[in-house]
Amino acid sequence: MDNDTRPDSADGLGQFLRARRERLSPADAGLPSVGRRRVPGLRRDVVAALAGVSLSYYSRLEQGRDLHPSPRVLEAMARVLRLGEEDKRELFRLARPATRRTKSPSRTERVRPHLRHLIESWTRTPAFITGHAQDLLATNALADVLYRDFTRHDNVLRMLFLDPAAKTFYRSPERAKLRAVADLQQSAASTPEDPRILRLVGELSVHSGEFRSLWAREFARVPPYEVKRLYHSVVGDLELRHEALSIRSAPGQQLVILQAEPGSPSADGLALLGSIGADEAPHRRNPAQGA
């Protein structure tokens, strides 16, 4: 980069990011081009989503109002903006990242044995435990058979946005997606450098325009849980009360429980699924143990 174009003021980082963003096309980022844009380059919300940060945070960077992004965020920016080594060094020079390291969640999350045994003892209630990035860390047999139509059982957001089964399994998939994204935003806000969340947001942003659109929104709070209306290919319609309980002994993990009203058709449906799960128990696949 020419010396006479190297900004060195409070606005330097913003000018640098803006210039590098505007020289890229959606195709450069692996995204489809839709119509013709009146302004060049990638949109701010696309860059933010691919880098795994919120739109408001990225906007502050371009506006020169945040001069100390973390090294992890800068690495993500360099990847999204496709910076060469010289430009990458310039990005780090302009950002002057803080040297203090903030503690990030461990890359490997494990479920305590007593919690695993607890959910496995529930034969009439689907239950599972998620990690801070909504990875499925442990499931019981009834949860396995409940979600059997999904190709992968590894992450709630991947299942919602990348698996075609979600369109028929959830009667209101939009509400489920909105809540999942809001929940992930809350986790990202508390651990902005977390590599697992950065990777997950980047992956979903590349493969799902719907996710990119939701991620660009700012959710003031996580919408409350409610009755989930589902459709299972074996037992048909189900109405299940969804509850998520924070596990105090493992910050970031949640115990998710799906309950049917006693004596209801949904309870009968779960009983039938339970019998299927019992038959398949010897062949159960263990969910991922880490993020």
In tens, the pLDDT along 199-241 reads: 898 889 888 989 988 887 777 677 777 788 999 999 999 999 9
Report how far apart, in Å, the C-alpha atoms of 38 and of each of 6, 33, 35, 46 are: 27, 13, 10, 16
Res 34: pLDDT: 55
Separation CA 217–CA 115 (nearest Å): 35
Question: Residue 278: its pLDDT value, please?
Answer: 65
pLDDT of the residue at 115: 95
Domains of the chain as residue ranges with CATH = 8-95 (1.10.260.40), 113-283 (3.30.450.180)
> How many Cβ atoms from other residues are within 10 Å of residue 180's Cβ?
21
251 burial level (CB within 10 Å; 0-12, 13-18, 19+): exposed
Instruction: Write out residues in the chain with pLDDT < 50, as ranges.
Output: 1-10, 98-103, 105-106, 282-291
Per-residue pLDDT, 35:
53
Report pLDDT digits (tens) over 43-72: 888 888 888 888 888 888 888 776 677 777
